[in-house]
Amino acid sequence: MQTAVIYARYSSDNQREESIEGQIESCTKYALDNNIQILDSYIDRAKTGTNDNRDGLKQMLKDSSKKHFDTVLVWKLDRFGRNREEMAINKSRLRKNGVTVKSVKENIPDGPEGVLIESLMEGLAEYYSLNLSRDIRRGMHTNATKGKSTGGNIAFGYRIGKDKDFEVVEELRPVVVEIFTLYDNGYSFADICEIMNSRGIKTSRGGKFNKNTLRPMLSNEKYIGIYKHMDIRLEGGVPAIIDKDLFDRVQNRLENTSMKYRKIRTKKDNDVCFILTGKVFCKECGSAYRGESGTSKSGNTYYYYVCGNSKQKKGCRAKRIGKDKLEEIIVKTTLEYVLTPDHIEKIADNIIALCKSKSESPYLSKLICDRAAAEQKIENMLKAIEEGIFTSSTKQRLEALEREVNNLSVFISREQIKRPTITKDAVIWFLNNFTRLDYSDPENQVRLINSLINSVLIDGNQISIAYNYTNNDGKPAFAECSSKSCMYKNAKNNTI
């Protein structure tokens, strides 16, 4: 029997505490319907999606290495955090331990399209966040132009007045000045935090001071009277607490410290990420390609993808290919072949059609079958009554069946309402997003490859790229290109 654990998270102040229990109930119901044994539950309460201090999640990730469970059930994928990179990292850790993540609400199908839809679901939070009510945005913009609070965290030393104006908390003014002065005089973050915490002074959130709260504070221009919100910047929009000379000296020290830290990291962090690992295969022998490095006579280091059997001299004659070259070819071919307006439109249509065909959960399917069975019993009883078969219990039984049908209809409606709504516009937005990314950033290359690329097959100079969606004929979509060129060439049956 498949084994699983549940991870549930209370994600915001707008969510009722019962939502934790609701998540667990939904996951438990899914497990029962799919013959999955629940071993344990990991819960994080009163944490936000952007807060990384989640003990339940960390413990679950740690326990996954013990190989006691093979699935993590979550209500929605955003339980892992609303940041795509963080979710990808956490799921990658689980995959390395042989553990998969299953969203019981989003019901993502298996197969290549499931990977693409999963990436889409992870991006929907961003999509809906960018499509907030115009009235709310307009109101926030109006407040911002007047230097008023638009919500969110309040900088230490300030409070919000009756008219949403920022006011200085006078008893904290000297504390703010002291913190900036201490740092200007050479005190470290640790020294300043120790001083503040020893006095029992709390941050604006009521917690202890640490480097993660101190650095943003020391670089916040609000303390010299500058109000900032998105593209709005108002000199004198906030009452200042410290003078500009002190602030500028602190910024210079922050920058110098940051540069030294970056230099230290550069010397120590020599790890290179081969972003196609696990996706590139040799056509000649079927072995996976892996990353390797080599040093030239001049002392320069070069990085390659090489066939595993060729590397181990097991008879494969496949040649190695430069890391940057292969990754550039894959990204460029995908941008030119897949992410065109026509292709995006057709992929969106296919995704929507697939979601509609796969959207029914096992629990919903069971409810529909149970209602159909009850309706059939009612029809049989009515036929029996027409034929003159009627007993003292017939009416009572008929009424019970009618109540059962009504109750099942209510349950079905509730379950259908719970299903995620993936619109064509959302899919198009998600795919178009890839065309706007800066691919000199390796993280953006990883996002594109993990979302769209299923596998890469290398045959000499020829490269075949299989994508995470199928054509109208049900065959996997793919593109062919040459390692001698970044241009792709169309192959038969590879267009949508």
User: pLDDT of 340-358, one tens digit each?
Assistant: 888 888 888 888 877 766 5
Whole-number Å distance between alpha carbons of 463 and 279: 12
Q: Cβ(34)–Cβ(362) under 8 Å? A: yes
Helix, strand and coil in the chain, % to nearest 5: 50, 15, 35
Q: What is the pLDDT of residues 136-167, one digit of tens each?
A: 455 555 555 666 766 667 889 998 887 778 88
Whole-number Å distance between alpha carbons of 318 and 339: 30
Q: What is the pLDDT of residues 270-329, one digit of tens each?
A: 467 888 888 889 888 888 888 888 888 888 888 999 988 876 666 788 888 999 999 999
Task: Read off the pLDDT of each residue in 374-388 and give the average, rounded to a whole number.
Answer: 88
Q: How far is CA 311 from the centre of its chain?
A: 36
Q: What is the pLDDT of residue 83?
A: 58
Beta strands 280-282 and 453-459: pairing type? parallel
410-413, Cβ contacts within 8 angstroms, sequence gap of 24 or more:
411/367, 412/364, 412/367, 412/368, 412/371
Task: Read off the pLDDT of each residue in 429-455 and give the average, rounded to a whole number.
Answer: 86
Contacts of residue 49, defined as CB under 8 A and 6 or more positions apart, other chains included, come to: 11, 12, 78, 81, 82, 83, 125
Tokens 């200042």 locate to: 240
Whole-number Å distance between alpha carbons of 252 and 254: 5
Q: What is the pLDDT of residue 18?
A: 46
Whole-number Å distance between alpha carbons of 415 and 405: 15
Whole-number Å distance between alpha carbons of 302 and 322: 8
- DSSP 3-state of 72: strand
Q: What is the pLDDT of residues 202-235, one digit of tens each?
A: 988 888 998 888 888 999 999 998 887 666 778 8
- DSSP 3-state of 73: strand
Computed on alpha carbons and rounded to an integer, the radius of gyration of the chain in Å comes to 29
Task: Read off the pLDDT of each residue in 429-436 and give the average, rounded to a whole number.
Answer: 88
Where is average pLDDT lowest: 288-292, 368-372, 414-418, 438-442? 414-418
Q: Could you tell me where the beta strands, DSSP code E, fall in 357-452?
A: none
Task: Read off the pLDDT of each residue in 10-27 and give the average, rounded to a whole number.
Answer: 66
